[in-house]
Structure 1
Amino acid sequence: KLGDLGKFLIPCDFSGMDVCHALADLGASINLMPLSIWKKLSLPELTPTRMTLELADRSITRPKGVAKDVSVKVGKFYFPTDFVVFDFEANPQVPLILGRSFLRTDHALIDVYGEEITLRVNDEAITFNLNQTTRYSSTYDDMSENRIDVIDVFSEEYA
């Protein structure tokens, strides 16, 4: 019987940030970025949104907006990603949450048995050993009071 891998992290590179890992969350339908990171990265204007988020504690929050086409560098690849930006405290080493849309865009293949994630662009690929990235998960777990669990996303703009 094998143990549960739990959550896993993807190392990302952003200029102006020493260490950045993103929590890969297959349960998330959106990608999340804290407002503080958006400001730190000096990203372009946020696109307004009428979206509301229901969090794990059943509270409702409104994002500050959507950061469109943010270039997320993973290894040698750049992936254009839309982030929902709202004001929450995040672990400075694991500030981003990447959902299914990101994992689908980068053709992610997750080998649970082999404990690897492979991201692909055309005929090229980069593979990460999940044991190497999960060592940062403990710092994410230590900040559980700041953890964001999005239960549901309500939006009329895509209807």
Structure 2
Amino acid sequence: MLPPKLQDPGSFTIPCTIGDLEVGRALIDLGASINLMSLSMFKKIDGLELKPTRITLQLTDKSLKYPSGVVEDVLVKVDKFLFRVDFVIMEMEENGDVPLILGIPFMKTARVLIDVENGKLKVGVQDEEVNFDVFKAMSHPKDDKACFQVDIIDEVCMTKKACDVSPLERTLINECEDLNEEEEKLIDECLTDLELLKEIPTEEASFEKIDTKVEVKEKKLELKLLPKKRKEDDSDDE
């Protein structure tokens, strides 16, 4: 009886921290005989001493690379455990998703056990151990502090949101909704002219202060004498 054919579970990674730097997820590589760190990542970590080395690395394409050096006894924190790890430092493009490669030396130190079928990875120190769910980790961002951008425009952009605006702003917004083709063309020409104008630096800008207080002058009432004829008419009526 043939067992069912399963899909590729993906790479096995674990979250780790070096000092105050949140590294993210480090790749557990069974095919690596060293622990590898990029030179750019090395420069972000304070207190590390780079030592010269004569190591030559042969890549999968048979090309040879010469590392910048090695750093020893780097404290790598995985969950609640601290491990001393030696890294080979090489100038290469840093992978934002997997900034570190932890090879066989780390796996032996941390007593790493991998269950490929169930996507489980176990790290242990003496009688204590921590388990990681690889499938669950792949479905979440590697760092809570990271910023992600989604380029999607949906119908929600057509929704109007009521807010308190000034009468002038309200008038401008409402008027722009009922423009004809000629009026839109005039507005486009006006915007083009505005874009051609040079921006005035803030330190060189001058502002005119507008006095919003309106002084109302009280009018002095004056009594006027009635014409003589009007007086006589009033007397006759009485």
For the aligned pair, the TM-score class normalised by the smaller chain equals: 0.7 to 0.9
Moved more, 106-115 or 96-105: 106-115
The structure 2 residue matched to 1:95, chosen from 92, 95, 99, is 99
TM-score scaled to structure 1, two decimals? 0.79
Provide the alpha-carbon RMSD of the alignment: 1.8
Kept in 2, the 8 Å contact 1:7–1:134? The answer is no
Match of 2:131, SS state, is strand
User: In the TM superposition, what is the alpha-carbon distance from 1:92 to its structure 2 partner?
Assistant: 2.5
Moved more, 54-63 or 71-80: 54-63
Match of 1:12, SS state, is strand
Task: Tell me, yes or no, if structure 1 residue 59 matches structure 2 residue 63.
Answer: yes
Kept in 1, the 8 Å contact 2:19–2:75? The answer is no
User: In the TM superposition, what is the alpha-carbon distance from 1:5 to its structure 2 partner?
Assistant: 1.3
TM-score scaled to structure 2, two decimals? 0.54
Residues paired across the two proteins, number: 137
Partner of 1:123: 127
More helix by proportion, 1 or 2?
2
Kept in 1, the 8 Å contact 2:16–2:22? The answer is no
Distance in 2 (CA, whole Å) between partners of 1:60 and 1:107 is 30
User: In the TM superposition, what is the alpha-carbon distance from 1:82 to its structure 2 partner?
Assistant: 0.5
Q: Higher relative CO (CA 8 A, sep ≥ 6), structure 1 or 2?
A: 1
Percent of aligned pairs with the same amino acid: 47
User: In the TM superposition, what is the alpha-carbon distance from 1:120 to its structure 2 partner?
Assistant: 0.3
Q: 1:119 to 1:130 in 2, by over 3 A?
A: same
Distance in 1 (CA, whole Å) between partners of 2:9 and 2:52 is 37
Partner of 1:143: none
Match of 1:13, SS state, is strand
Kept in 2, the 8 Å contact 1:23–1:96? The answer is yes
Matched residue type, 1:115: G
User: In the TM superposition, what is the alpha-carbon distance from 1:45 to its structure 2 partner?
Assistant: 1.5
Q: Which runs of 5+ in 2 are unaligned?
A: 142-238
User: In the TM superposition, what is the alpha-carbon distance from 1:14 to its structure 2 partner?
Assistant: 2.8
Task: Tell me, yes or no, if structure 1 residue 86 matches structure 2 residue 60.
Answer: no
